[in-house]
Amino acid sequence: MSVDLVSRALAFATAAHASVDQRRKYSNESYIVHPIAVAEIVRTVPHTPEMIAAAFLHDTVEDCGIKIDDIDAEFGVQVAELVGWLTDVSVPADGNRAARKAIDLAHTAKAPPPAKTIKLADLIDNTLTIKERDPDFWRVYRHEKLRLLDVLREGDATLWARAAAQCV
């Protein structure tokens, strides 16, 4: 059942990102490479099948028009809750990037440790491309990431240290 959950989540996320032709900003690769990388990072630390499924699905609500209720119906409440914690809650009407990121930071701060572990994996993978390919944005992103790291200490300690080391 758990392998089925994970394989179904990968298939669902692949189809969702493909349906909007989402691409990685710097490489133009199919977007699913990012959720796959996040899931692979999560696999390196203690995890559950629900965490891997949520890693695959973590951007589908924000980017693909998928509803949390759809995730719940397809993958169950545990996966849906994790995806909910990993989904930004701010909207453009909330103000500029700094204002929106503050709202999202407050949301992330309340997340349970498994969601924080997935978020750390997300930060690690995003940092790899941003730091290398967009030095100007890296200065903004680094500041946001340092603030996030302050509220992600309940996530996996190994991933937290790895994410923090990227900011040096």
Q: Which two tokens stand for residue 51?
A: 């965490």
63 belongs to the catalytic site:
yes
User: Which one of 29, 40, 62, 94 is the catalytic residue?
Assistant: 62
DSSP for 8-61, written as a single string: HHHHHHHHHHHHTT-B-TTT--BTTHHHHHHHHHHHTSS--HHHHHHHHHTTHH
User: Which one of 4, 29, 59, 63 is the catalytic residue?
Assistant: 63
40 belongs to the catalytic site:
no
Q: Which two tokens stand for residue 11?
A: 């298939």
DSSP state of 96: S
- Distance between start and end Cα atoms, the chain: 41
Residues designated as active site: 62-63
